[in-house]
């Protein structure tokens, strides 16, 4: 059996194992690098790269800072705000709008994973104050919004995407080039409509679960503990409470702007603030460890080397052959856009969304340039499809956080995001001809 076939079969086995619900998710994830190294498909460094990846390691300080926020009076104040908003006309929608805007801004200024990690303690406060909001529902809802609405503003990664894509177009010998706003205009208009759908209608698909929330007992304990606290809603002294605010929100500001104006990596900024909180005594090491979602860490780190294995084994050639089979000689740019969108949006559910984007970008570029077609709409379709990473916990590290802390059944996770994914897809299909024929021309 070739390595490429073995990797594809391993991917299938992983999906079945997750879907069965019979095995611990961390155990499944931990088995993947073991198998990939044992079979010689990947070296030890490649197989275990997820455990040294800065994006995965970023989970640790963000969970620590979530503990800091939990001990401060912020969640107590947020509960009062939620109660006040909820009592006004349209209060339910107003609360959802606050969280949706927060998820979009954090995902675009930082990334989807950081958005979920930073919002998680606030969502706990929301659900404990208003029982009509499911903690798991709001968390998954925010995760899907954060993932699908990335790169809709003209800064940061969007500008990098513009520059990198043009470099690839030039290297491939294509005469076409993106204008600076093309990546934004390829998705922002229809994503804004999708966001309105999510706020006004989409949440109902996330608010019903057949299994109990594993954090429910802990939330109830936190609620009873808070009743014994003084009116400020925290056991911290006034000075330490203010310091907790500074460390949490100062970390957000440092992660947003520190990398713009300094050479200090985002991981170092996060650890600086998190470790300071421990050293000054706001939180204890035990409290930080207890609030870690270790399953989330194992899930994200263990599944990451699958991407390397797909590329290194040549499994992407099978994917390219499948694209050719589905096209059946149809050389329409619109048809290519739709096919590549579906391949990217399906593959991204079972591997890193960024890796899915890179794999299909290469295939799409080669296919369109070889046919003498305009690659730009197809490349944008790949980008949009890859970021539709909303159906499984393997799709994105932020989704892994939700899954690891939520105690979901695998099928529940798919069902929750399915309707929003389908609406997102329909909006893309409707908007793509407008983008191609009116904006790119």
Give tens-digit pLDDT for 393-430.
Answer: 878 777 877 777 666 778 888 888 899 999 999 999 99
Q: How far apart are CA 287 and CA 72, in angstroms?
A: 13
Is the torsion defined by CA of 122, 127, 132, 135 positive or negative? Answer: positive
Q: How far apart are CA 290 and CA 49, in angstroms?
A: 25
Burial label for 36, CB within 10 Å (0-12, 13-18, 19+), is buried
Residue with tokens 């009076």: 73
**Measured distance between the N- and C-terminal CA atoms of the chain, rounded to whole angstroms:** 48
Provide the pLDDT confidence category of residue 226 given band limits of 50, 70 and 90. very low
Q: Collect all residues with Cβ–Cβ distance below 8 Å to 5 and sequence separation of at least 6.
A: 315, 318
Which of 55-59, 363-367, 377-381, 404-408 is the most confident on average?
A: 377-381
Per-residue pLDDT at 243 = 93
Is there a contact between 271 and 64 (Cβ–Cβ < 8 Å)?
no
Provide the pLDDT confidence category of residue 214 given band limits of 50, 70 and 90. low
Nearest to 254 by CA among 51, 65, 100, 402: 65
Is the torsion defined by CA of 141, 288, 286, 227 positive or negative? Answer: negative
Three-state secondary-structure class, residue 271: helix
Spell out the domain ranges in the chain.
54-152+217-297
* pLDDT tens-digit readout, 188-197: 999 999 999 9
Q: Is the pLDDT of residue 4 over 60?
A: yes
pTM above 0.75, yes or no: no
Provide the pLDDT confidence category of residue 86 given band limits of 50, 70 and 90. low
Three-state secondary-structure class, residue 6: helix
Three-state secondary-structure class, residue 400: helix
Q: Collect all residues with Cβ–Cβ distance below 8 Å to 184 and sequence separation of at least 6.
A: 151, 152, 153, 154, 158
Q: Which two three-digit tokens encode residue 376?
A: 């730009």
Please count the CA atoms within 13 angstroms of the CA of 156 that sit on its side-chain side: 18
Phi-psi bin for 372: left (phi > 0), alpha (psi -120 to 50), beta? Answer: left
Nearest to 350 by CA among 107, 4, 15: 15
């Amino acid at each position: 059996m070739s390595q490429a076939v073995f990797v594809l079969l391993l991917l299938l086995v992983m999906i079945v194992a997750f879907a069965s619900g019979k095995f611990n998710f961390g155990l499944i994830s931990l088995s993947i690098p073991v198998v990939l190294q044992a079979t010689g498909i990947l070296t030890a460094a490649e197989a275990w790269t997820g455990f040294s990846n800065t994006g995965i390691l970023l989970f640790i300080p963000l969970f620590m800072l979530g503990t800091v926020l939990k001990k401060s009076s912020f969640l107590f104040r947020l509960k009062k705000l939620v109660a006040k908003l909820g009592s006004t006309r349209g209060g339910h929608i107003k609360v959802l709008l606050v969280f949706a805007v927060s998820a979009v801004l954090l995902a675009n200024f930082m990334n989807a994973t950081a958005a979920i990690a930073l919002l998680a303690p606030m969502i706990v406060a929301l659900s404990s104050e208003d029982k009509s909001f499911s903690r798991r529902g709001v968390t998954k809802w925010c995760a899907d919004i954060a993932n699908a609405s990335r790169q809709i503003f003209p800064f940061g990664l969007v500008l990098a995407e513009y520059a990198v894509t043009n470099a690839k177009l030039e290297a491939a010998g294509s005469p076409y080039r993106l204008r600076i706003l093309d990546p934004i205009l390829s998705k922002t208009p229809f994503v804004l409509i999708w966001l309105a759908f999510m706020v006004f209608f989409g949440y109902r698909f996330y608010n019903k679960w057949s299994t109990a929330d594993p954090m429910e007992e802990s939330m109830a304990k936190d609620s009873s503990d808070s009743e014994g606290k003084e009116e400020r809603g925290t056991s911290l002294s006034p000075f330490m409470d203010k310091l907790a605010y500074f460390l949490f929100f100062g970390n957000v500001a440092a992660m947003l702007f520190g990398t713009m104006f300094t050479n200090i990596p985002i991981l170092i900024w996060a650890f600086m603030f998190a470790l300071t909180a421990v050293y000054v005594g706001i939180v204890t090491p035990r409290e930080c460890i207890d609030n870690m979602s270790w399953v989330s860490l194992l899930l994200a780190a263990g599944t990451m080397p699958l991407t390397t294995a797909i590329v290194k084994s040549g499994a992407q050639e099978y994917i390219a052959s499948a694209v050719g089979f589905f096209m059946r000689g149809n050389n329409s740019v619109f048809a290519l856009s739709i096919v590549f969108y579906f391949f990217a949006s399906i593959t991204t559910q079972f591997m890193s969304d960024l890796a899915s984007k890179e794999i299909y970008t290469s295939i799409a570029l080669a296919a369109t340039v070889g046919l003498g077609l305009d690659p730009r709409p197809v490349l944008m379709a790949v980008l949009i499809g890859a970021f539709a990473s909303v159906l499984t916990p393997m799709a994105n590290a932020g989704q892994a956080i939700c899954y690891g802390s939520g105690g979901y059944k695998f099928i529940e996770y798919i069902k929750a995001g399915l309707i929003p994914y389908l609406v997102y897809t329909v909006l893309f299909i409707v908007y793509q001809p407008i983008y191609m024929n009116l904006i790119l021309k």
